[in-house]
Amino acid sequence: MAERTDGTRVAPLRRLWRYGAPYRRRTWWATTHSVLNKLFDLAPPLLIGLAVDVVANDGDATLDRIGFTTQRSQIVGIALLTFFVWAFESLFQYLHQVAWRNLAQDLQHDLRLDAYANVQSLEHAWFQERATGDLMAVLNDDVNQLERFLDIGANEIIQVLTTVLAVGAIFFWLDPSVAMLAIAPMPLILWGSFWFQRRLEPRYEAVRNQAGFLNGQLANNLLGISTVQSFTAEDREAARIAGESDRYRQANRSAITLSSAFTPLIRMAILIGFTGTMVWGGFEAIEDATGGSGSLTVGQYSVLLFLSQRLLWPLTRLGETFDQYQRAMASTNRILDVVDTQPTITSGTTRLTLEPGAGAVTFEHVTFAYEAGSRAAVDGVSLTLEAGRTTAVVGPTGSGKSTLMRLLLRFYDPDEGRVCIEGHDVRDLDLGDLRRLTGLVSQDVYLFHGTVRENIAYGRPEASLEDVVAAATVAEIHDFVQTLPQGYDTVVGERGQKLSGGQRQRLSIARAVLKDPVVLLLDEATSAVDNETEAAIQRSLERISAGRTTLVVAHRLSTVRNADVIHVLEAGRIVESGTHDELVSREGAYASLWAVQTGAAVRHEPRRRNESSVRRTPPS
């Protein structure tokens, strides 16, 4: 929630009001029409009272003065007036509905876009703490909740207020003593409403949060449906969803118990006001009619009765409206929390453009742990990617290879030391420039729902088909694409599901090649393709990386043999560096890895046989 520095929370309505500053004028415009609509809606009972008096008391003095001298003409005059009042009521109803609903649309649109844009600017660490489904709930459900409130609820609150004020004024004008009776329950109702509201607030917050958890679990399961099915975990997952759904139900139940009690209680309070008005006002009218000291005419008495209905009826709906309000405010908090989250990785100001061939990268005593206090994933690493050269990093799984790339791309910032491109600390660089300079073929390829062409051209949407084909050819995927029914216009499905792992990987290589980055980062870029294809891609990549600063991470050492320098990483530290031949002759960590992969070590470690047989025996 929005905590201030002094620890107090900013009320959601105030947050929304501040956020909606550009909409102030339109809010006032809509409010004015809501008020006018209500005022015209309250007028007919007054006219009815007038008509009753005209009939019962030989005409009305005021109407007489303005020219309606006969009883009949007065009735016709009142009817005419009623006609206009109704026409205006309808007109303002139309206007306020259009105003509020359009305001709701525009505000929800802005909120969704702002929240989404801010989410895009946030760092990886933030996403790790949040379930995707929960975020989707914020961007969709919560935004819609607010929209619903602005559509209907805001107008209702304003109209209830208008009713209370207008009817209260009329009551006092007609008969102060009866008015006192009618408004006697008001303080009770208001106090009761606030009491309920305060207690409902945390319950609706819990409901919204639980909706987020449920969504998170659902998204997780649907994305991992093949894992669920292959491990026959359907029952377990269904039970897990049932658990989350049940907690959502319970959270709602607790809110329902309270919010449903509201309306009956308010009704009881209202009843006191209404029956009081009926009895006391009735007595006054009888007194008046029998020539006593009563202060109410029959017409005025009927106005009082009609109006107290009008006054009290909407109050019974106050519960529902407050309910909607509370839900909307819980959602507002969740949305604005996302909108207000400040990224910790922010863009620097130094603009940098480099030509391919430049772009030396240095890691200087870089230490980084994903979580404070946990083991460093990268521990005091210093290494240089010479401009225009290929540098390789190898090492066991979990040794921090991908982390190095993430630090260079500023998905995370190092805890100690710095990463520089051409001597500029990456933290000083414009983030857009930094990421334009670098091209990453990541270990886990992500393709978007779209065509092959769109996916390859993702980093350069304006690229021509020839460029796309050229990049695909380098990545050895062009021939395959041609066998597809719609060629480059074939839709790859969500996450590229319709392609094989190796095809996805090659597509992502094509994507990086087309981007033509100054610094090329290949993280296990060919791990999912067969030997022949790998050899072919390897030859292409060597052409592409020639004269380009390139960082290659690979488990198959054959793919890094020709690198200008190879660093061996173990548990976040560099343990060896050198060329392939130097490292092999040093007989250290690299040499034994090499021995395993070339089959030389199979004799000594028979249990590794299976593992190494999956791996390719590299050409020596």
The residues binding ligand ATP (CB under 6 A) are: 128, 370, 377, 397-403, 443
Q: Which residue has the tokens 């010479």?
A: 386
Burial per residue of 434-456, b for 16 or more beta-carbon CB atoms within 10 angstroms, e otherwise: bbbbbbbbbbebebeebbbbbbb
* Residue nearer to ligand ATP on the CB measure, 388 or 395: 395
Residues 6+ apart with CB under 8 A from 314: 156, 159, 160, 163
* Residue nearer to ligand ATP on the CB measure, 135 or 143: 135
Binding site for Mg ion (CB under 5 A): 402, 443
Q: Minimum CB separation from ligand ATP for residue 495, in Å?
A: 19
Q: Minimum CB separation from Mg ion for residue 588, in Å?
A: 22
**Chosen from ligand ATP, Mg ion, none, partner binding at 120 (C-beta under 5 to 8 Å by type):** none
**Chosen from ligand ATP, Mg ion, none, partner binding at 349 (C-beta under 5 to 8 Å by type):** none
**Chosen from Mg ion, ligand ATP, none, partner binding at 391 (C-beta under 5 to 8 Å by type):** none
**Chosen from Mg ion, ligand ATP, none, partner binding at 187 (C-beta under 5 to 8 Å by type):** none
As to burial, measured by CB atoms within 10 angstroms (0-12 exposed, 13-18 middle, 19+ buried), residue 523 is buried
DSSP secondary structure, 530-593, as one string: -HHHHHHHHHHHHHHHTTSEEEEE-SSGGGGTT-SEEEEEETTEEEEEE-HHHHHHHTSHHHHH
Q: Minimum CB separation from ligand ATP for residue 461, in Å?
A: 29
Q: Minimum CB separation from ligand ATP for residue 389, in Å?
A: 21
- Measured from each CB, the residue nearest to Mg ion is 402
185, 123, 523, 164: which is closest to 345 by C-alpha?
Answer: 123
**Chosen from ligand ATP, Mg ion, none, partner binding at 403 (C-beta under 5 to 8 Å by type):** ligand ATP
171, 405, 153: which is closest to 305 by C-alpha?
Answer: 171
**Chosen from Mg ion, ligand ATP, none, partner binding at 338 (C-beta under 5 to 8 Å by type):** none
Q: Minimum CB separation from ligand ATP for residue 230, in Å?
A: 22
* Residue nearer to ligand ATP on the CB measure, 8 or 128: 128
* Residue nearer to Mg ion on the CB measure, 406 or 511: 406
* Residue nearer to ligand ATP on the CB measure, 481 or 529: 529
186, 103, 206, 81: which is closest to 148 by C-alpha?
Answer: 103
> CA angle at residue 363 from 359 to 366, to 5 degrees?
155
* Residue nearer to ligand ATP on the CB measure, 259 or 399: 399
Q: Minimum CB separation from ligand ATP for residue 373, in Å?
A: 12
* Residue nearer to Mg ion on the CB measure, 37 or 402: 402
Structure tokens at 84: 């206009």
* Residue nearer to ligand ATP on the CB measure, 288 or 570: 570
Torsion of CA 531, 536, 539, 541, to 10 degrees: -90
- DSSP 8-state assignment for residue 70: S
Q: Minimum CB separation from ligand ATP for residue 123, in Å?
A: 11
SS3 per-residue string spanning 179-207: HHHHHCHHHHHHHHHHHHHHHHHHHHHHH
Q: Minimum CB separation from ligand ATP for residue 379, in Å?
A: 10
